[in-house]
Amino acid sequence: MKHGRLWLLAAAFAAQLSVPAWTIVDREITLARGESFRFRTTVVDPYDAFRGRYVRVAIADDTVQVEDATLFERPSTAYAAIVLDENGYARFDAVTLEPPESGPYMKVRTSGAGGGGVRLRPPFDRYYMNERLAPEAERVYRDHSGAGGDAYLDVAVRGGNAVIEGLYIEGEPIEAYVRRLTDR
């Protein structure tokens, strides 16, 4: 009985450690070996721009046209192929229920279909920041996002996994940009 409990304790400890450890390893591998893509960002509802200490980020072109939108009527996991536009920014090109055989892709969630298009939710929606810098960062992010904006996300992508490398304003990391503004 006592040995049984010890084994259970050891198994529980291993499981408790393995979940965060695997998350870390998976993200570190993606950051180290993944391909880097630059996504334009858009403004989200300003009242919901911050929850605690993170900037809520969203990709500008998050809708993909498909032939049969009925396949994506219910929210599900899907795979979005990534291509680069003429300015070097990444965008979603196609979405399938199985991973594509070639080319970079990201594992996403679909969040409804309509008008021949499917809306995609990437595996990131927040960028954590220092609490002190957060209010100014919110304002800066809002001013620089959306149509013609120069806010973008660098995202490492590997085997469907995606990890944010940084949020940039005018080519500068948002932390440095905001700190420069507040130090003036």
Partner 1 sequence: MAYGRVQWLKNELPTLVSAGVLPPESADRLRRHYEARGAGRGRSLALIAFGVLGAKLIGSGLILLIAHNWEALSQGVRAGLALALLLAAQLVTGFAHLRRADSHAWRESTAAFLTLSIGACMALVTQTYNIATAIDDFMLRWLVLALPVVYVTRSRIAAVLYFVGVVWATGAGQGFGERGVILWGLLAAIAPFLVALTRETGGARGKALVFWAAALAAPLASLFVVPRLLGDAWAVFYAALFAGMVALEARGSSDDAPLWQRPLTIVGALGASCVGLALTFGDLWRSVDLPASGLHEGPWFTLPVTWVLTSLLLLGASTAATRRLLERRWGLGLLYALPLLTGLGYATALGGGEGGTQSVVANVYVFALGLAALLSGLARDRLVLANGGMALLSLLFLFRFVDADLTLLLRGVAFIVIGVAFLGMNVRLLWTRKEARP
Binding site for partner 1 (CB under 8 A): 5-6, 8-9, 11-13, 15-17, 19-21, 23-24, 27-28, 31, 54, 121-128, 130, 163-164, 175
**Residue (85 or 125) nearer to partner 1, CB:** 125
Q: What are phi and psi of 102, to 5 degrees?
A: -140, 165
- Secondary structure (DSSP) of 105-127: EEEEEEEEEETTEEEEE-S--EE
Cα–Cα distances in angstroms (integers) from residue 16 to residues 8, 12, 24, in the given order: 12, 6, 13
DSSP 125: -
> What pairing do the DSSP bridges indicate for beta strands 63-65 and 126-128?
unpaired
Distance CA 41, CA 20 (A): 28
* 20 versus 115: smaller Cβ distance to partner 1: 20
Tokens of 125: 């929606």
Closest approach of Cβ 176 to partner 1, in Å?
12
* Nearer residue to partner 1 within complex by CB, 31 or 69: 31
- Identify which of residues 136 and 175 has a Cβ nearer to partner 1 in the complex: 175
C-beta of 181: minimal distance to partner 1 in Å?
17
CB of 101 to partner 1, least distance (A): 27
Structure tokens at 40: 């334009």
In whole angstroms, the minimum distance from the beta carbon of 20 to partner 1 comes to 5
